[in-house]
Chain A
Amino acid sequence: MSFKNPIRPSEITPEHIYNDRRKFLKSIAIGLGATALSSMAFAKVRSLDNIVDSDLSIGDKKTSFKDITTYNNYYEFGTKKTDPSEYADKLTTDPWSVSIDGAVKKNKVLSIDEIIKLSSLEERIYRLRCVEGWSMVIPWVGIPLRSLLKHVSPTNNAKFVKFTTLNRPSEMIGQRYKVLDWPYVEGLRMDEAMHPLTILAVGLYGKVLPNQNGAPIRLVVPWKYGFKSTKAITKISLVEKMPETSWMKAGPSEYGFYANVNPKVDHPRWTQATEREIGKGLFAPRVKTKMFNGYEKEVGYMYKNMDLKKYF
């Protein structure tokens, strides 16, 4: 068996990814050899082969793969930043299906492979701004959410999109504690969901998405605080009323539905005027947070006549 180029070298910038390549290939080869022909694993690797660049990517220096995969807020695996990288490998992400229902012409249940075939995979380098006041620059791989939504033909009653994360306490050990009201629920307004910047990510740094980052499929909405970007999605519902999200339930005065990155509206706990850039070392200053995380030109129109202090 020969797998000379499952990933195009040009996709892969950081050196350590190159170094990981052998190990990665070997693991695939072993996997294939052992389980006859695991077409799923093969398909995943192949599909990440055809990644196209996007004009919507930013040019900032990417945060290291190590930092992106060891400093995570993913309460399904524990509340410490290091918990997800420690415990998420127990999660079974294959087989996986996402059910799409609600205000659509026809309900659908799709596999990850079926979803990523709806559009070409794109690399989107986005800044992820956490509500806690830190940020990373992450090279996601995914497809625009709008290609999936168009595929299910929303009806006129579709005003909001509700995302639900997997609920499986046997593998997601953080769900054994009622830190949040499981399963995790998030939502977007229809125009936000249809925005070209909004993506469903299945990869990171040209590779299949690591479990701690929300594998096998997660939402990424770059102009909103990180908690809006639902991980390990199992259900997408198109609904008429604004869904009540997990964090709204947990602290309505602290977490709003919109959660747009906004340096002028402080969180009761943290300043939102500045942010700490992960990976810049001990002596780097905080940087100023940008309105809509730097996407004001692209998304500002959706919030034109809204009081963003009220709709935080």
Chain B
Amino acid sequence: MTKSLRPPLKPIIFLVCLWPLFSIGYTIYNDNLGANPIEYIEKHFGLWALIFLCLTLSLTPLKRLTQFGQWILYRRMLGLFVFFYASVHLLIYLGLDYQFAWTDIQDDILKHKYVLVGFLAWLLLIPLAFTSTNTMIKKLKKRWKSLHQLIYLVAVLAILHFFWLVKKDLTEPIIYGSILATLLLIRVYYFAKNKQSKNKKNNEN
């Protein structure tokens, strides 16, 4: 039992998860960042943080749909990659875009709602990353699960961040918004189904 809990593909998946770093390195090496390189890098990591968020949230639905439990073994790693890429995204915004000009940054966060929700989403990821260790899982017990349901709020904030920053063409926010909405709806469906079968059982008893 304990043996099967070891995620067999972990090292390979870890390497695959580093793809956004390789790809941006390749783009930089070939001098293909374009006229606005900071914007390019900033968007690159923001988008990959969102993609990893979608991937992380797709593991539970995959488990249910495939009736194969091992997907969940990779959830923590993917979740930490969300935090990692979101942090790089933020760091580029703070360091390259604004060169740590804190008053300007404070203005930007408080005045512009898309920046504010993006920043909030990142803040909410911190406790999740911090409590991702086995020790913390044991320590927090039942509360761990409720705490980590914050990820749904992060997903909503991240999509709002995307919607509000786009000027006119909403195609991309709609695509990622639909993916996340689908992933959340699948959860709602199974939640309702479980409740129903539980009620049935109770009635039968």
Contacts and interface: CB of A to CB of B under 8 A. Distances in A.
Contact of A282 (B96, B107, B165): B96
Contacts of B169: 75, 79, 177, 179
Contacts of A173: none
Contacts of B164: 269
Contacts of B167: 79, 132, 269
A278 interface: yes
A171 to B, nearest CB: 20
Interface residues of A, number: 30
Contacts of A250: 168
Contacts of A273: 104, 107
B34 A79 contact: no
A66 B31 CA distance: 13
Nearest to A274: B104
A286 to B, nearest CB: 7
A213 to B, nearest CB: 13
Nearest to A132: B167
Interface string A58-85: 0000000011001100010001011000
A266 B111 contact: yes
Interface string B31-54: 000111111010000000000000
Given A70-B34, A81-B34, A273-B107, A179 B168 contact: yes
Contacts of A281: 37
A180 B113 CA distance: 23
B97 A286 contact: yes
Contact of B101 (A75, A177, A180, A285): A285
Given A269-B164, A283-B96, A278 B104 contact: no
Given A269-B114, A282-B96, A286-B99, A67 B104 contact: no
B36 A79 contact: no
Contact of B107 (A67, A269, A271): A271
Contacts of A268: 112-113
Interface string B89-123: 00000001111010010011001111000000000
Q: Chain B interface residue count: which class? A: 20 to 34
Contacts of A312: none
A53 B99 CA distance: 37
Nearest to B92: A282
A285 B108 CA distance: 15
* Interface majority SS (helix, strand, loop, mixed), chain A: loop
Contacts, number: 63
B22 to A, nearest CB: 19
Contacts of B168: 75, 79, 179-180, 250-251
A49 to B, nearest CB: 29
Nearest to A270: B112
A75 B171 CA distance: 14
Interface in A276-307: 276, 278-279, 281-283, 285-286
A86 to B, nearest CB: 12
A269 B37 CA distance: 20
Contacts of B104: 271, 273-274, 286
A134 interface: yes
A95 B28 CA distance: 41
A133 to B, nearest CB: 10
A81 B35 contact: yes
Of the listed residues A82, A134, A271, the one surrounded by the most CB atoms of chain B closer than 10 A to its CB is A271
B112 A269 contact: yes
A224 B96 CA distance: 27
Nearest to A63: B35
Contacts of B111: 266, 271
Nearest to B28: A282
Contacts of B113: 268
A71 B34 CA distance: 8
Given A82-B34, A271-B108, A286-B101, 7 more contacts: A75-B168, A75-B169, A81-B36, A251-B168, A271-B112, A276-B36, A276-B38
The 4 A-B residue pairs with the shortest CB-CB distance, nearest first, are A71-B35, A79-B169, A67-B35, A285-B99
30 contacts: A66-B35, A70-B34, A70-B35, A79-B167, A79-B168, A82-B34, A132-B167, A134-B39, A179-B168, A269-B165, A270-B112, A271-B104, A271-B107, A271-B108, A271-B112, A273-B107, A276-B36, A276-B38, A276-B39, A278-B35, A278-B36, A282-B37, A282-B38, A282-B41, A283-B96, A285-B99, A285-B101, A286-B97, A286-B101, A286-B104
